[in-house]
Structure 1
Amino acid sequence: MMNIKPSAAIRKNYNEVSELCKRSGEPVYLTKNGEGDLVVMDIATYMRRESMLRLRESLVIAEESRLQGNTGRSVDDVSAMMKAAVREVLDGHRK
């Protein structure tokens, strides 16, 4: 579910917007004059998204390398990297 609020909501009721971010685990989209203006989210959601972006970037780099003919890493190495990445995402989610 997309949470959309007018920008005045953050000025008038910061605590409500903050609680909505934390409770939903989703960003809140703020509008100004009926148009999208800002996105706010709690720090745990932000950290989780950043971790997932880093993981995706690593996977894209590895796939590009593989397509260029590089033999890459062993299955055990990749498994260990994936477990570490999942732990990072989960730990970011718990904070």
Structure 2
Amino acid sequence: MINIRPVSDLRNKFPEIEETVNQSNSPVFLTKNGHGAMVLMSIEHYSLLTDSIERELDYADKIAEENDTRYSHDEVFNRVRGRIHE
């Protein structure tokens, strides 16, 4: 279930929000003046979202160190577009 709360709850009910985030391991969406303001999540949940990206970026850095080939912005995006439209 999506948990949406006003941003004022962060100040007024922090222990309750902290418990919700850590026990359910699902994000809490905070609103300000009726509009989305931020999302709070546990470090474990954040890691699930970012670890694979970090690994891929580390791999790309390693390949870049081992290879002198560089591509321009246009070359990269043309290759990406070509793969998308295959």
| TM-score normalised per structure 1 | 0.53
For residues 54 and 3 of structure 1, the distance between their equivalents in structure 2, rounded to whole angstroms, comes to: 28
Unaligned runs of 5+ in 2: 61-79
CA deviation after TM superposition for structure 1 residue 27, in Å: 0.9
For residues 44 and 37 of structure 2, the distance between their equivalents in structure 1, rounded to whole angstroms, comes to: 22
Q: Secondary structure at the match of 2:38?
A: strand
Which position in structure 2 is the counterpart of 1:38?
38
| TM-score normalised per structure 2 | 0.58
1:1-95 equivalences in 2 (<5 Å): 1-54=1-54, 57=56
Structure of greater Rg: 2
For residues 34 and 19 of structure 2, the distance between their equivalents in structure 1, rounded to whole angstroms, comes to: 23
CA deviation after TM superposition for structure 1 residue 53, in Å: 3.7
For residues 10 and 41 of structure 1, the distance between their equivalents in structure 2, rounded to whole angstroms, comes to: 13
Distance 1:41 1:53, change over 3 A: same
- Structure number with the bigger relative contact order (C-alpha 8 A, sep ≥ 6) is 1
CA deviation after TM superposition for structure 1 residue 45, in Å: 1.3
- Once the two structures are superposed, residues 2-22 of structure 1 have per-residue CA deviations (whole angstroms, 9 ceiling, x without a partner) of 111100111001110011001
Moved over 3 A (4+): 52-55
- Once the two structures are superposed, residues 40-79 of structure 1 have per-residue CA deviations (whole angstroms, 9 ceiling, x without a partner) of 1111211222124446x57xx8xx8xx7xxxxxxxxxxxx
